[in-house]
C-alpha cells in the first residue's frame, strides 16, 4: 500500500514555530516518525511539504492512480483553499485530515476546513502523535475496503 503524507505551509518550521502550540519536535524528526509509523502499518510512505498552494495541488494531482491513501495537514490553507479541496475531490483517493493543534478551540477563522470536506476522517489536537492515529485510521479503512 502506498501512502502520501502532505504537509502545508510553515510545518517545515516545527520545533521553532510556536512551540507552546505545536511542540518541540522538529520537522525532520516528524518525517522520521511518520516513515516508521507508516512502515509498521504496512505502507510505503512518501512525505511531502510545501509552502505553496499550487505545489500542494500539483502533488495531490500527481498521486492519481499511484497512491492508495493520503494524509494531509494543509496548515493555513485548510481554512482558505478551495483549490486543495477540489484537487482532493478530483483524485478521489481516501484521505485523512490531520491537525497538530485542536483547531476547534482556536480562532474563529480556523473554524472552517475546506480540505476536510474531501476527507473521510479528521484527527486534531493530539500533537504530532496525531499522524500515528491518522495512519492507523487509514490502514483500517484501506484493509476493510479491499
The set of catalytic residues is: 22, 99
Q: How far is residue 98 from each of residues 38, 65, 146, measured CA to CA in Å?
A: 15, 22, 24
Residues 89-108: x where in contact with ligand DQA by CB under 6 A, - otherwise, as a string: ----------xxx-x-----
Helices (H), the chain: 19-22, 27-40, 53-62, 82-91, 129-145
Q: Is residue 139 near ligand DQA by the rule CB under 6 A?
A: no
Pick the binder of ligand DQA from 33, 35, 110, 141 (CB under 6 A). 110
Does position 133 interact with ligand DQA (CB under 6 A)? The reply is: no
Contact pattern for ligand DQA over residues 11 through 50, marking x by CB under 6 A: ----------------------------------------
Candidate list 35, 48, 76, 141; residue touching ligand DQA; CB under 6 A: 76
**What CA–CA distance (Å, rounded) separates 94 from 10?**
25
Write the CB contacts of 57 (distance below 8 Å, at least 6 apart in sequence).
83, 84, 87
User: Which is nearer to ligand DQA, 68 or 96 (by Cβ)?
Assistant: 96
Q: Which residue has the cell 474531501?
A: 118
Number of residues that bind ligand DQA (CB under 6 A): 10
Residue 24 dihedral angles phi and psi, to the nearest 5°: -110, 0
Amino acid at each position: 500500500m502506498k501512502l502520501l503524507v502532505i504537509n502545508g505551509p510553515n510545518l517545515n518550521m516545527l520545533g521553532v514555530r510556536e512551540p507552546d502550540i505545536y511542540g518541540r519536535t522538529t520537522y525532520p524528526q516528524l518525517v522520521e516518525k511518520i516513515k516508521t509509523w507508516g512502515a509498521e502499518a504496512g505502507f510505503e510512505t512518501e512525505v511531502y511539504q510545501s509552502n505553496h498552494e499550487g505545489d500542494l495541488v500539483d502533488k495531490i494531482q500527481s498521486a492519481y492512480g499511484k497512491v492508495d491513501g493520503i494524509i494531509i495537514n494543509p496548515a493555513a490553507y485548510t481554512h482558505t483553499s478551495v483549490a486543495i479541496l477540489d484537487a482532493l475531490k478530483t483524485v478521489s483517493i481516501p484521505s485523512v485530515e490531520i491537525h497538530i493543534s485542536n483547531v476547534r478551540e482556536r480562532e474563529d477563522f480556523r473554524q472552517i476546513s475546506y480540505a476536510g470536506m474531501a476527507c473521510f476522517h479528521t484527527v486534531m489536537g493530539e500533537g504530532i502523535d496525531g499522524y500515528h492515529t491518522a495512519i492507523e485510521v487509514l490502514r483500517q479503512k484501506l484493509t476493510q475496503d479491499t
